Amino acid sequence: MPSWNADLPRMLIIQLARLGDLLQSLPVLSSLREKYPESFFDLLCPFPLESLGECIPGIHQIIPWNGEDWHVLAREWEDTFLQSFPHAVEYFSRFPSIPYSLVYNLNNHPRSILAAHLLGTRVVGAGDQGPLNTNCSPWVEYLRQVAYERGPNRIHLADAFCGICGVKPPRVLPGIQSKDIQLAADLTRVMEDSSTSKIGIVLGAGDNDRRVPVSTWCRLIEASAEHLPNSMCVLIGGAGEREAALALEDKLSPHYHSRLLNCVGRTTLPELVHIFNHCQWVVGSDTGPLHLGVACGARAIGWYFSRARVHETGPYGVGHYVWQHQGNGQSGNCREQLFNHHPENPCTWPINETIELMQGQGSSGGLSGWELWTGHRDDWGMFYLNEEKLDVAIAERKNIWERLSDMPFKQHSALKSHSINTGCSA
Amino acid sequence: MTIFQKNIELLRRQDAELAAKILKASGGTLSIHPAKSGVPTAVVKNRAIHSAYDPIREGELWANHQTENCQPGEILVVLGVGLLYHVEAMCSKLAQGSVIIVIVPDLSELADVFSVRSLEGWGDRICWVWGNPEQMALQVAQQASRFRLLTYEPALLIHPKEYDAFRSQLRDQLAEGVHGRLHIMVIGPIYGGSLPIAGYVVRALEALGHRVSWVDHSLHDPGYQHLNTIRDARLRLTVQQRFSDMLGVISLAHVAEDPPDFVLAMSQSPLSMAVLEQMRRKKVMTAMWFVENFRHLTYWQQMISGYDFWFVMQQGACLDAFKNAGASHVSYLPLAADPTIHQSVTLTSEEREELGSDVSFLGAGYHNRRELLPELLRDEWTFKLWGNEWEQAGRLQTVLQRNGERIDTPTSVKIFNGTSVNVNLHSYTSEGFDPNGDSVNPRTFELASCGAFQVIDQRTLLPELFDDSMMSVMRTPEELVSVVRKYLHEPEQRQSMAENSRKRVVMSHTYLHRMQTLLSIVGLASPDRIGGILRGDRQAESLLARSRDYPELASLLESFPKTDRVELVDLAKVIRQKGPEAKLNRDELLILMMDEYRQEKRDFV
């Protein structure tokens, strides 16, 4: 990457939410780079995601935001008042390029808004009207409305981030590649074995209500072993899921142990990127690692239930699948209802149907309580179709884009509106 | 020239009067021997004051440990002289210009030091404070607004009474100068004797000008009592424990919602160790006023490390037991009365008919009372017995009032006022008077505060609270009848003694006094946080004077009345009030950012 000099514009993108949101921000990073090829982009992301940020192409510098430092400063202030103030001032001396001429803020959270105004002279996105102004730009307001009212929205979160930043969805989707990773020997052996197809199984989830039962994963692994010759299931998860992984291994018939590689709690984020770079498929609920798998080139089969909705946070790219559960966490329920009433979780799981998709047979369908959705892209971004049927809401996206954006829109030459392409995205 | 002469010359330049007195001092307090390392070490009454191996290293370790908590700008006040190795080490650790005060209760001890240790190169940095405890406390309070007490325990043992008196005087001096406003959360019990005391504490703290949040768990008493319907004892205990644990979590939620500077829990408050640990993690300072007999209720042993401060109503063995169990700070704090509640009242004729009598006793039916009080069943006077837990009262049943129901505070005040001779027997589970009876019960203070006459059983801690001109003290149970008879026939004497006791309460034994003492102890031990707030460090005026390097911050502080306490939340509120169109400068944005993190409570409970 060329080095930056003071004559070149340097911009900052703020994404302080969780892993999944950072990965949903990859399209807007791509679009911004397409629109401003001369500019340099830095990324402000949570401290624990710094190492992942370094794998994202096109980012000049990753700036980690350590919330714990700010907790300490706030506590110090409570203890010693003025003595902590210089420490808060010093915190920003770590940022080499402030003030940025332009900051793109993707989080409608007071901390992100304040960070945006502390770091930049002009803010685009949440807080663009001022740090205390609750008026939002049309796109931010739209996202807020969707978050509270849900409704029949078909604009994908990643595309809404593009709208917030005043750019169109990207022509080319960015991929994440690992660099110079040395895995443990047992992991390396499996990853380098080109005779097996690897299926990433995302064991855990940040929220309890998005967790798939361990017994269900066992059945999927057994079915994979039975029906997908030369497949190897790679169990993915953080340190907090070690117990669940051990329980799974315990529950799994010893007959299938040779078809399972347990990576749970053993990998850093860059190592996980490396593993996903070698996976053909990734299966899981709507979680950060599922989207990481997608960004690393694996094809996703999402199991979306509880509050997860395919149209908002489905895996970004053409050809991914989502099994959407039809519980009470779905369309038409406002946020208040959702949080007051615990969503109904599935009783049955699309295990055989998922195997059929991986076999390339399509799905025979007919699983009660679940719908299969397939990912597509056009000028207005990502959308999902059930049984390849277009509906009004998909067409409505164009109007929403035009209503919320003040930019002139032209179709990408490479993408036709509403074209359906079932090939896998990069 | 000897070491002694050199030291005297050095001292003369600082304090000629002290130098002259040292010349006249006899010395001989310290028995001085060479340590293994060759330097002098000291012993007093077979107790080593310094290491027998390497006193210099020991002093350095002490200084390293002590300076961990010291804040810039504080004046360090060292208690414990010895051979001053620890003070020398402290001097070498601190920047030139920092002031170290050494308290000298005994010039003879200092004369011993001057004979064997050269003060050259560091002694001139010491400010010697000497005299009687009151004079020394006054000098310290006048010289230093922000100071931290450092104790070198081995040398403290040479003159323990003098140091205790100094600390007590210093607390009183500081209590008088307190003008800062704290936010104190008082956490009460579900029920029991400490419940009304929690109420008095809340009133007293409010009267002192502090903001008080009372977490009143007595609201949950009906639910808790309902658990008694569970017949299986083990199951009932388990559920009661869970209930109590939940109230602890509720307390934690209150702390999270409106973080106090300080949590004061009354005994029996439902705070588990897990809850207290969480408070500590969140830097919330905690104290427990344990208004129980430490020998009878022993749960303090399991809770000892949970609280930063313990206040107990017993001395001697109690203080030793708490210290030995690991209490970091434990202090004697006797009970008291609230004169706005416990006061003289005139009874109506109907009230006098029901509540009045020649002799009465109000309290629960403990064993010693059941044994002794029947002696008062005589024709020569009327005797009424009030209170609960008098099942199977035997002969006392005839004088038990209101069927032994619990008597509320307003009624008890009327009973005290309507009785000529109030009998005050401390509870004891055996016969007679408790031979280890030390603490003084709340009834003593309440009766006195009402201006009601009482005869009381002997308690070791009573004389320092009240004297014989204020109440009649029985040395043996056999005296009960004769004392009652005597005073029943001496109404003027009764009235005079009762009035003396009332004046004593008003002067020294109200909950206001107790809370002043409690806060000054906490303030002394936490000079940077609680002490700072009490001194007014958080008032707008003080903050403004210290914020010259940050003009934007200073201009914000100017918007507050000078004596208002200003915290991060207050500054953030002023900034937010600027309205949606406001353009904020860096300092304002930083304040809002810190306030955002201050508000975070998701990991609190």
Q: What is the DSSP string of A270-285?
A: HHHHHHHHT-SEEEES
pLDDT at A424 > cutoff 60: no
The CATH number for A362's domain is: 3.40.50.2000
Q: Give the residue from chain A lying closest to B554, CA to CA.
A: A82
By CB atoms closer than 10 A (0-12, 13-18, 19+), residue B482 is: exposed
Which chain A residues contact residue B601 at CB under 8 A?
none
Q: Cβ B580–A129 below 8 Å, yes or no?
A: yes
Rounded to whole angstroms, how far apart are CA atoms B581 and A132? 7
pLDDT at B50 > cutoff 70: yes
Q: Cβ A80–B71 below 8 Å, yes or no?
A: yes
The reported pLDDT for the residue numbered A419 is 35
Query: Looking at the complex, does the CB of residue A67 fall below 8 Å from at least one CB of chain B?
Result: yes
Rounded to whole angstroms, how far apart are CA atoms A66 and A85? 17
Q: Are residues A77 and A197 in the same domain?
A: no
Which chain B residues contact residue A110 at CB under 8 A?
592, 596
User: Two tokens at B258?
Assistant: 């409106």
Q: How close, in Å, is residue B547 to chain A by CA atoms?
A: 7
Q: Are residues A122 and A225 in the same domain?
A: no
The reported pLDDT for the residue numbered A151 is 78
Instruction: Tell which B residues from 545 to 564 touch A, by Cβ distance under 8 Å.
Output: 546-547, 549-550, 553
Rounded to whole angstroms, how far apart are CA atoms A66 and A48? 8
Query: Looking at the complex, does the CB of residue A395 fall below 8 Å from at least one CB of chain B?
Result: no
Rounded to whole angstroms, how far apart are CA atoms B327 and A56? 53
pLDDT at B145 > cutoff 80: no
Confidence bin at A414 (pLDDT 50/70/90) = very low
Rounded to whole angstroms, how far apart are CA atoms A339 and B67? 50
End position of a domain, from candidates A136, A159, A174: A136
Rounded to whole angstroms, how far apart are CA atoms A49 and B367? 68
A174 within some domain? no
By CB atoms closer than 10 A (0-12, 13-18, 19+), residue B95 is: exposed
For residues A361-379, average pLDDT: 86
- Express each pLDDT in B519-565 by its tens digit: 999 999 988 888 888 888 889 998 898 888 888 888 999 999 998 89
A227 vs B72: which has the higher pLDDT: A227
Please list the helix, strand and coil fractions of chain B in percent, rounded to the nearest 5, in that order. Answer: 50, 15, 35
Q: What percent of chain A is modeled with pLDDT above 90?
A: 65
Q: How close, in Å, is residue A111 to chain B by CA atoms?
A: 6
Q: Are residues A218 and A80 in the same domain?
A: no
Closest CA relative to residue A130, chosen from A162, A166, A105, A147: A105
CATH dotted code for B183-334 = 3.40.50.2300
By CB atoms closer than 10 A (0-12, 13-18, 19+), residue A415 is: middle
- Express each pLDDT in A127-154 by its tens digit: 999 999 988 889 999 998 888 887 788 9
Q: Give the residue from chain B lying closest to A136, CA to CA.
A: B580
Closest CA relative to residue A401, chosen from A243, A125, A167, A230: A167
Query: Looking at the complex, does the CB of residue B281 fall below 8 Å from at least one CB of chain A?
Result: no
A194 within some domain? yes
The reported pLDDT for the residue numbered A422 is 30
Lowest mean pLDDT among A388-402, B29-43, B168-182, B424-438: B168-182
Lowest mean pLDDT among A349-363, B403-417, B437-451: A349-363
Query: Looking at the complex, does the CB of residue A110 fall below 8 Å from at least one CB of chain B?
Result: yes
Helix B55-67 crosses helix B85-93 at what angle (to 10 degrees)? 50
- Express each pLDDT in A36-81 by its tens digit: 998 999 999 999 999 999 999 999 999 999 998 998 888 887 767 7
Q: Are residues A213 and A117 in the same domain?
A: no
For residues B566-575, average pLDDT: 92
Return left, alpha or beta for B263; rule: phi > 0 is left, psi -120 to 50 is alpha, else beta. Answer: beta
Q: How many domains does chain A have?
A: 2
Which chain A residues contact residue B538 at CB under 8 A?
81
The reported pLDDT for the residue numbered A325 is 94
A148 within some domain? no
| Exposure of B143 in the CB half-sphere (CA atoms within 13 A) | 21
Q: Give the residue from chain B lying closest to A115, CA to CA.
A: B593
Lowest mean pLDDT among B341-345, B372-376, B426-430: B426-430
Q: Are residues A225 and A340 in the same domain?
A: yes
pLDDT at A417 > cutoff 50: no
For residues B159-183, average pLDDT: 86
Instruction: Tell which B residues from 242 to 261 touch A, by Cβ distance under 8 Å.
Output: 259
Average per-residue pLDDT for chain B: 93
Q: What is the DSSP string of B282-322?
A: TT-EEEEEE-S-TTT--THHHHGGG-SEEEES--THHHHHH
- E strand map for A263-364: 281-284, 299-304, 321-325
The reported pLDDT for the residue numbered A420 is 34
Rounded to whole angstroms, how far apart are CA atoms B355 and B349? 10
B376: Cβ contacts below 8 Å, ≥ 6 apart: B359, B361, B383, B423, B480, B481, B484
Query: Looking at the complex, does the CB of residue B593 fall below 8 Å from at least one CB of chain A?
Result: yes
DSSP B337: B
Q: Are residues A238 and A98 in the same domain?
A: no
Q: Cβ B594–A111 below 8 Å, yes or no?
A: no
Q: Cβ A81–B537 below 8 Å, yes or no?
A: yes
Q: Cβ A71–B579 below 8 Å, yes or no?
A: no
Query: Looking at the complex, does the CB of residue A121 fall below 8 Å from at least one CB of chain B?
Result: no
By CB atoms closer than 10 A (0-12, 13-18, 19+), residue A344 is: middle
Check if the beta carbon of residue B118 is closer than 8 Å to that of residue B12: no
Instruction: Tell which A residues from 77 to 96 touch B, by Cβ distance under 8 Å.
Output: 77-86, 88-89
Q: Cβ B590–A118 below 8 Å, yes or no?
A: yes
Rounded to whole angstroms, how far apart are CA atoms A323 and A321? 7
Rounded to whole angstroms, how far apart are CA atoms A362 and A358? 8
Average per-residue pLDDT for chain A: 87
For residues B586-593, average pLDDT: 93
Q: What is the DSSP string of A365-383?
A: ---TTEEEEEEEEETTEEE
Q: How close, in Å, is residue B562 to chain A by CA atoms?
A: 17
Cα torsion B364, B366, B368, B373: sign? positive
Rounded to whole angstroms, how far apart are CA atoms A241 and A206? 10
A192 vs A406: which has the higher pLDDT: A192
Query: Looking at the complex, does the CB of residue A68 fall below 8 Å from at least one CB of chain B?
Result: no
The reported pLDDT for the residue numbered A409 is 47
The reported pLDDT for the residue numbered B310 is 98
Q: How close, in Å, is residue B586 to chain A by CA atoms?
A: 6
Which chain B residues contact residue A83 at CB under 8 A?
71-72
pLDDT at A4 > cutoff 60: no
Give the one of B579, B580, B590 whose C-beta lies nearest to A89's C-beta: B590
Q: Cβ A130–B583 below 8 Å, yes or no?
A: yes
What strands lie across the sheet with B47-48, from one edge to the other? B31-34, B40-44, B47-48
Query: Looking at the complex, does the CB of residue B569 fall below 8 Å from at least one CB of chain A?
Result: no
The reported pLDDT for the residue numbered B508 is 96
Which chain A residues contact residue B259 at CB under 8 A?
78
Domain limits, chain B: 3-177, 183-334, 349-509, 540-598
Check if the beta carbon of residue B368 is closer than 8 Å to that of residue B346: no
Superfamily of domain B349-509: Glycogen Phosphorylase B; (3.40.50.2000)
- Express each pLDDT in A186-241 by its tens digit: 999 999 999 999 999 999 877 777 899 999 999 999 999 999 999 999 999 999 99
Q: Give the residue from chain A lying closest to B595, CA to CA.
A: A74
| Mutation choice for B interface testing from A16, A82, A207 by most B CBs within 10 A | A82
Cα torsion B345, B351, B357, B360: sign? negative
Q: How close, in Å, is residue B575 to chain A by CA atoms?
A: 9
Q: What is the DSSP string of B449-513?
A: HTT--EEEE--TTSTTT--TTTSEEESSGGGHHHHHHHHHT-HHHHHHHHHHHHHHHHHH-BHHH
User: Two tokens at B19?
Assistant: 């130098």
Domain that holds residue A271: 185-390
Q: How close, in Å, is residue B70 to chain A by CA atoms?
A: 12
Give the one of B259, B580, B596 whose C-beta lies nearest to A114's C-beta: B596
The letter for the amino acid at B115 is: S
Cα torsion A328, A332, A335, A340: sign? negative
Give the one of B537, B546, B581 whose C-beta lies nearest to A133's C-beta: B581
The reported pLDDT for the residue numbered A96 is 74
CA–centroid distance for B534 within its chain: 15
Which chain B residues contact residue A115 at CB under 8 A?
593
Radius of gyration of chain A (CA): 22
A234: β partners: A200, A261
CA–centroid distance for B9 within its chain: 43
Report the topology of domain B3-177. Rossmann fold (3.40.50)
- Express each pLDDT in B189-219 by its tens digit: 999 999 999 999 999 999 999 999 999 999 9
For residues B290-295, average pLDDT: 94
Which chain B residues contact residue A88 at CB under 8 A?
590, 593-594
Q: Give the residue from chain A lying closest to B557, CA to CA.
A: A82
Rounded to whole angstroms, how far apart are CA atoms A226 and A355? 10
A153 within some domain? no
Complex prediction ipTM: 0.87
Q: What percent of chain A is modeled with pLDDT above 70?
A: 88
Closest CA relative to residue A236, chosen from A180, A192, A191: A191
Which chain B residues contact residue A82 at CB under 8 A?
543, 546-547, 550, 553
Closest CA relative to residue B414, chosen from B455, B377, B447, B381: B447
Closest CA relative to residue B139, chosen from B312, B17, B240: B17
Q: Cβ A131–B592 below 8 Å, yes or no?
A: yes
Cα torsion A57, A62, A68, A70: sign? negative
Rounded to whole angstroms, how far apart are CA atoms A322 and B150? 67
Check if the beta carbon of residue B261 is closer than 8 Å to that of residue B182: yes
Rounded to whole angstroms, how far apart are CA atoms B428 and B438? 12
Q: Are residues A44 and A132 in the same domain?
A: yes
Confidence bin at B144 (pLDDT 50/70/90) = low
Q: What are phi and psi of A81, to 5 degrees?
A: 55, -110
Q: Do the two domains B183-334 and B349-509 of this chain adopt the same fold? A: yes
Question: Hey, is A170 helix, strand or coil?
Answer: coil
Check if the beta carbon of residue A385 is closer than 8 Å to that of residue A409: no
Cis omega (within 30 of 0) on the bond before B477? no
- Express each pLDDT in B465-503 by its tens digit: 999 999 999 999 999 999 999 999 999 999 999 999 999
Confidence bin at A412 (pLDDT 50/70/90) = very low
What is the torsion angle, in degrees rounded to the nearest 10, for the CA atoms of residue B330, residue B335, residue B338 and residue B342? 170
pLDDT at B183 > cutoff 80: yes
The reported pLDDT for the residue numbered A2 is 52
Closest CA relative to residue B197, chosen from B38, B1, B337, B368: B337
pLDDT at A410 > cutoff 80: no
- Express each pLDDT in B251-270 by its tens digit: 999 999 888 999 999 999 99
Question: Hey, is B258 helix, strand or coil?
Answer: coil
pLDDT at A411 > cutoff 50: no
Q: How close, in Å, is residue B18 to chain A by CA atoms?
A: 37
Parallel/antiparallel/unpaired status of strands A321-325 and A370-378: antiparallel
The reported pLDDT for the residue numbered B513 is 95
A333 within some domain? yes
Place of tokens 């994979």: A224
Q: Are residues A224 and A347 in the same domain?
A: yes
CA–centroid distance for B53 within its chain: 38
Radius of gyration of chain B (CA): 28
The reported pLDDT for the residue numbered B605 is 67
Report the Cα–Cα distance between both ends of chain B, in Å, rounded.
Answer: 68
The reported pLDDT for the residue numbered B358 is 97
- Express each pLDDT in B547-559 by its tens digit: 888 888 889 999 9
Q: How close, in Å, is residue B516 to chain A by CA atoms?
A: 22
